[in-house]
């Protein structure tokens, strides 16, 4: 039978002809955990399976994404638990000088097209951008996965999203995914897998594909896939690839002309509360954050630099590369230098202001423009107001001190 990407991956990893709606046991190619959530996994694993080691030490990875270096004793102890476990079990450990888990795993060759990956972050599924079935799960799942090397999954139906046309100047993948959020809403893709197609998707480098795939989570989707093409194979030196069968069955097909999209912004407190940037231009803001797993790669900062170079920011601005190697590249290209001259604060790579607990928290009533993926109530400090934008809109607004349409600078 002809298969979509998810059906192909689950069939391979379960050894069964997986059909939509079925529950099957799937072999895991990688089990990941992080500094938040990971310590509970370790404690539960030791409690429930005291006699066992992890199923395959080469297929387990611990990443420190969030509070690095540790900000207090509790976090330091949590990281100690994880370092101890990594040493005992001989699993991969990416310590405080690395960055956001999914990106680190990708950079270290642990993610391949067609692989099955579970982790403790709700945005693991951005790895669908390279054709990996990665998904965020709870503690019990990770503990079970460590013991068994398998987990049960329900095979989701797949929908097809075709993105056609060329983007207007100043419109980035973030604007495109915000447009889709406005259309599908936050529960519009519940239980569903997505496959992205179309000339726009093909034109995107890894960074843009990741931005698209990462925010499938905000629509409650399981995962957003992009079939492996030559461009990605080359960029990531993949020898594997994955694509759907030509006559695979989709639950539904949607077609969007992206040439009509303008720079967009998600207003507080929901990622689908989307309007055009031009509608809210001039609104005073207090802080700008550039980074996160959605918009923390080289291309994102290159875009921002086009506006930032030789200017100064008028509000406090924090830029955080997704990984250490992204930071090195930004240093080599002089982007960090330009940002520093512009007055931007540049902490070490991490998830940073995607979650509370990182320096940069808002006071009540303060407005943040963020290139991250969620703007729920209280996410970055009680009473703070989070707005989601592209790196270009973030940069334009930072240098103006108010919400600004980036097309003014282009």
Partner 1 sequence: MKLSGNVWKFGDDIDTDQIYPGKYLPLTDKKEMGTHAFEGVPDIKDFSAKVRSGDIAIAGRNFGSGSSREHAPIAIRESGIQAVLAISFSRIFYRNAINIGLPIMEIDIDTYNSITQGDKIEIDTETGELRVNGKSFKAFPLSGLEHDILVHNGLINYIKEVML
Among 93-101, 115-123, 341-349, 397-405, the segment contacting partner 1 (CB under 8 A) = 115-123
x/- site string to partner 1, residues 27 to 66, per CB under 8 A? ----------x----------x------------------
Among 57-65, 184-192, 253-261, 326-334, the segment contacting partner 1 (CB under 8 A) = 184-192
Q: Closest separation between CB of residue 195 and partner 1, Å?
A: 18
Q: Closest separation between CB of residue 101 and ligand SF4, Å?
A: 6
In the list partner 1, ligand SF4, none, the entry touching 255 (Cβ below 5 to 8 angstroms by class) is none
Work out the number of other CB atoms within 10 angstroms of the CB of residue 19. 13
Q: Is 313 helix (H, G, I), strand (E, B) or coil?
A: coil
Distance of alpha carbon 29 from alpha carbon 162, whole angstroms: 29
Q: Is 241 exposed, middle or buried (0-12, 13-18, 19+ CB in 10 A)?
A: middle
CB 222 within 8 A of CB 191: yes
Distance of alpha carbon 203 from alpha carbon 344, whole angstroms: 31
Cβ closest to partner 1, residue 136 vs residue 208: 136
Among 186-194, 338-346, 360-368, 395-403, the segment contacting partner 1 (CB under 8 A) = 186-194
DSSP state of 351: S
H or E segment and range at residue 307: helix 298-308
Cβ closest to ligand SF4, residue 65 vs residue 298: 65
Quick one: tokens of 377?
A: 């109530």
Cβ closest to ligand SF4, residue 214 vs residue 243: 214
Q: How many residues bind partner 1 (CB under 8 A)?
A: 27
Distance of alpha carbon 232 from alpha carbon 400, whole angstroms: 36
Per CB under 8 A, the list member of 168, 220, 249, 348 interacting with partner 1 is: 220
Cα atoms found within 13 Å of the Cα of residue 108, Cβ hemisphere only: 21
Work out the number of other CB atoms within 10 angstroms of the CB of residue 106. 22
Query: Should residue 122 be labelled a site residue for partner 1 when binding is judged by CB under 8 A?
Result: yes
In the list ligand SF4, partner 1, none, the entry touching 337 (Cβ below 5 to 8 angstroms by class) is none
Cβ closest to partner 1, residue 81 vs residue 280: 81
Nearest residue to 123 (alpha-carbon basis) of 198, 223, 269: 223
CB 111 within 8 A of CB 134: yes
Per CB under 8 A, the list member of 81, 147, 227, 328 interacting with partner 1 is: 147
Query: Should residue 358 be labelled a site residue for partner 1 when binding is judged by CB under 8 A?
Result: no
Q: What's the Rg (C-alpha) of the chain?
A: 21
162 bridge partner residues? 197, 255
Distance of alpha carbon 100 from alpha carbon 64, whole angstroms: 7
Write out the residues near ligand SF4 by the rule CB under 6 A: 65, 100, 121, 123, 292-293, 351, 354-355, 373
371 to 390, contacts with partner 1 by CB under 8 A?
Answer: 376, 378
Query: Should residue 77 be labelled a site residue for partner 1 when binding is judged by CB under 8 A?
Result: no
Contacts to partner 1 by CB under 8 A: 22-23, 37, 48, 120-122, 136-141, 143-144, 147-148, 152, 154, 186-187, 190-191, 220, 222, 376, 378
């Amino acid at each position: 039978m002809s298969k979509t990407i998810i059906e192909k991956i689950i069939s391979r990893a379960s050894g069964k002809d997986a059909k939509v709606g079925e529950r099957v046991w799937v072999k895991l190619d990688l089990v990941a955990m992080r500094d938040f959530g990971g310590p509970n996994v370790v404690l539960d694993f030791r409690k429930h399976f005291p006699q066992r080691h992890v199923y395959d030490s080469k297929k387990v990875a611990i990443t420190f994404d969030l509070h690095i270096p540790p900000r207090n004793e509790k976090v330091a102890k949590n990281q100690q638990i994880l370092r101890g476990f990594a040493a005992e079990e001989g699993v991969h450990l990416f310590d405080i000088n690395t960055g956001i888990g999914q990106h680190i795993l990708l950079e270290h060759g642990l993610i391949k097209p067609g692989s099955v990956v579970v982790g403790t972050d709700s945005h693991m599924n951005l790895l669908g951008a390279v054709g990996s079935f990665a998904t965020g799960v709870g503690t019990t799942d990770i503990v079970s996965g460590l013991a068994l090397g398998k987990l049960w999954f329900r095979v989701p139906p797949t929908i097809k999203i075709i993105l056609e046309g060329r983007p207007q100047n100043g419109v980035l993948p973030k604007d495109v995914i915000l447009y889709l959020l406005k259309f599908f809403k936050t529960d519009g893709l519940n239980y569903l897998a997505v496959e992205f197609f179309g000339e726009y998707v093909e034109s995107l480098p890894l960074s843009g594909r990741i931005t698209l795939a990462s925010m499938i989570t905000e629509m409650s989707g399981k995962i957003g896939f992009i079939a492996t093409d030559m461009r990605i194979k080359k960029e990531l030196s993949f020898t594997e690839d994955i694509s759907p069968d030509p006559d695979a069955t989709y639950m539904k097909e949607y077609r969007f002309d992206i040439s009509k999209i303008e720079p967009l912004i998600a207003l507080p407190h929901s990622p689908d509360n989307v309007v055009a940037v031009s509608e809210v231009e001039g609104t005073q803001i207090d802080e700008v954050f550039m980074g996160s797993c959605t918009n923390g790669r080289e291309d994102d900062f290159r875009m921002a630099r086009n506006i930032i170079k030789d200017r100064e920011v008028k509000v406090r601005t924090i830029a955080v590369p997704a990984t250490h190697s992204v930071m090195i590249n930004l240093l080599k290209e002089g982007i960090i230098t330009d940002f520093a001259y512009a007055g931007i604060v540049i902490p070490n790579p991490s998830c940073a202001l995607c979650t509370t607990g990182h320096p940069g928290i808002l006071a009540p009533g303060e407005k943040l423009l963020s290139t991250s993926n969620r703007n729920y109530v209280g996410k970055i400090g009680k009473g703070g107001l989070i707005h989601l934008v592209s790196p270009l809109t973030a940069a334009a607004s930072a240098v103006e001190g108010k919400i600004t349409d980036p097309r003014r600078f282009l």
